[in-house]
Amino acid sequence: MSQHGRQIDEFMEAILWFSLILFAIWFSFFVYALYRFRADKSPKASYEGLKADWPKHLEWSIVFVEMVLLFGFSVPLWGNRVLDPPGPGEAVTLEAVAQQFGWIFHYPGPDGRLGRRDMRLADGMNPIGLDKTDPASKDDIITMNEMHVPVGKPVLIYLGSRDVVHNYYVIQMRIQRDAVPGLTIPVWFTPTHTGRFEIACGQLCGVGHFAMKGFLVVDTQSDYEAWLKDMSQLSQVAPPTGEKVIARQ
Ligand SMILES: [Cu+2]
């Protein structure tokens, strides 16, 4: 359901096949050893062991293959995922702030700029501490437990937390990243299919952890724009509180 998801799945599949081949080889060797070194064929154990050089070479080649797997495939794949975020211009950018027990999403609005936030300003009416004196925050849109994105475009989410460590986890997108209080942690993906997907919290964050559920809705571009317009009007009518937005769903 996301562009990089296929890469991860194919890599996992390759490792599974590789493990299966290794298993077959080692299991045949095990059966061979059971037969070859059966009791009546080698009644006395050899205390000298094997003198040949080939086991040493075999072990070094296994080390080599594993190094290639680790530094040739795993590290670059991981690096590609964590070091190369899409530029702010090319991605739909928003913030996701986790709290016990839900998600607050913060969109930049028509000006494309996220308003300044300061947790010291947070209260019941302003759960993410948006600074209302910052001009960039005037048109910002805040939604509770449901975020929308357009299909086929990179999405860049800055994760934050109001209280404890949570974890933004959308299994269909092959995305999982911690939301840590005091830090802003980027996570990104490009959805390839429309649909409604559950956002789970992947860290045991308190007694209500099981109920901490959000939704990621991947829309067509026009549906996404309509939803954004709707939410923007709602934000202008009343200060965004969780209850009002939830009531609309
Ligand atoms: Cu949580």
pLDDT beyond 80 at 206: yes
Tell how many helices (H) and how many strands (E) occur in the chain: 5, 10
Q: How confident is the model at residue 221 (pLDDT cuts 50, 70, 90)?
A: very high
On whether the CB atoms of residues 173 and 1 are closer than 8 A, the answer is: yes
Calpha distance 98→168 (Å, rounded): 8
Q: What is the pLDDT of residues 53-99, one digit of tens each?
A: 888 899 999 999 999 989 998 898 788 777 878 877 788 999 999 99
Q: How high does pLDDT run on average in the chain?
A: 86
- Percent of the chain exceeding pLDDT 90 equals 46
List, as ranges, residues with CB under 5 A of the ion ligand 1. 166, 201, 205, 212
CA of 100 to the centre of ligand 1 (A): 6
Pick the CATH number of 3-82 from 3.20.20, 1.10.760, 1.10.287, 1.10.10: 1.10.287
pLDDT beyond 60 at 244: no
pLDDT for 134: 82
pLDDT for 237: 53
pLDDT for 113: 81
Q: What is the pTM of this model?
A: 0.77
Q: Give residue for tokens 């028509």.
A: 110
Q: Cα–Cα distances in Å, from 242 out to 92, 113, 201?
A: 23, 22, 18
Q: What's the number of CA atoms in the CB half-sphere (13 Å) around residue 189?
A: 26
Q: Give residue for tokens 């209302």.
A: 132
What is the domain partition of the chain in residue ranges? 3-82, 92-248
Q: Comparing C-alpha atoms, which of 172, 177, 203 is closest to residue 190?
A: 172
Residue 167, beta-bridge partner list: 178
CA of 1 to the centre of ligand 1 (A): 23
CA of 203 to the centre of ligand 1 (A): 6
Task: Give the residue, 241 or 248, on which the prediction is more confident.
Answer: 241
CATH number of 92-248: 2.60.40.420
CA of 175 to the centre of ligand 1 (A): 15
CA of 131 to the centre of ligand 1 (A): 25
